[in-house]
Structure 1
């Protein structure tokens, strides 16, 4: 989870809404901000014009079943949502995840502005572990994964204020992040 770990350590250091997308998120892996992106071409600037309607979870298309690397297709006919959106694509079983629990997750990340896959634990064949709600990952994950069940697949559409904020690690400033996450392991509730 190259991107998630690096982003998490930046979040702890930077207090801004940092995004932990590297597998091993220690303070020694803090990422340097990326260089400013080149000025958009006229066609790119035209594509960035607001459409006037915020997208919903149903506007974002995904393929693949739990355990399979998903594809994520972001629409061109609506604007990125301004609030966190979650949608269970596969329900899962057992207890829902709670703050403080250690989860093991697989994920694929697509950035809204360029509609390109930026990172995927599926590609590395190794899930990412985190303690939910502990600030090890971006707030969009800490909030958006609450209640996910083992074997569940969830779509997360994360606005910039709950993501990586000012950018870095290949993520542009004010970027909306789209994840498909698979809950590989969620502890069973003993109560």
Structure 2
């Protein structure tokens, strides 16, 4: 009986530790979450055509990455890419970083947006590829203003 009691106590202690999750912070294992402090717009190719404005229907090609402060170009894991995507540039249907970051671009232009989490998907993240509180980087090419 003297041996059984310490074994039961050790088992209960281990069970309690495993149930609490070991103190994990709720982040996805292996993914470092970082975010720029403010929205940055970097025009890599100035366009010469019509300018995009909030409310206009536009067509873009884009690629999106998680923001990585340790990378020289701030591009971490790629999570999305699309060509010839047409939409109305308006709040409610897009992340706010696009609504604030695309206006003023001209057709033929290419722009990189560094988007803080608060103007992206925020505390909720998006699916398995965008963890909560992640900053985002998008390379966007404006191909049409309709």
Q: Output the TM-score relative to the length of structure 1.
A: 0.54
Q: Is the CA contact 2:35–2:136 (under 8 Å) kept in the aligned structure 1?
A: no
Partner of 1:175: 134
SS at match of 2:118: helix
Q: Is the CA contact 2:126–2:132 (under 8 Å) kept in the aligned structure 1?
A: yes
Q: Is the CA contact 2:65–2:136 (under 8 Å) kept in the aligned structure 1?
A: yes
Q: Is the CA contact 2:109–2:142 (under 8 Å) kept in the aligned structure 1?
A: yes
Partner of 1:119: 80
Higher relative contact order (CA 8 A, sep 6+): 2
Unaligned runs of 5+ in 2: 1-25, 69-74
Partner of 1:155: 112
Larger gyration radius, structure 1 or structure 2: 2
CA distance in 1, matches of 2:62, 2:29: 30
Unaligned runs of 5+ in 1: 1-35, 49-78
Are the structure 2 counterparts of residues 97 and 118 from structure 1 closer, same or farther at C-alpha, using a change threshold of 3 Å? Answer: same
Q: Is the CA contact 2:97–2:115 (under 8 Å) kept in the aligned structure 1?
A: yes
Q: Is the CA contact 1:135–1:142 (under 8 Å) kept in the aligned structure 2?
A: no
SS at match of 1:142: helix
How many residue pairs align between the two structures? 113
Q: Is the CA contact 1:133–1:143 (under 8 Å) kept in the aligned structure 2?
A: no
Q: CA RMSD in A?
A: 2.2
CA distance in 1, matches of 2:126, 2:35: 20
Q: Is the CA contact 1:140–1:162 (under 8 Å) kept in the aligned structure 2?
A: yes
Q: Output the TM-score relative to the length of structure 2.
A: 0.69
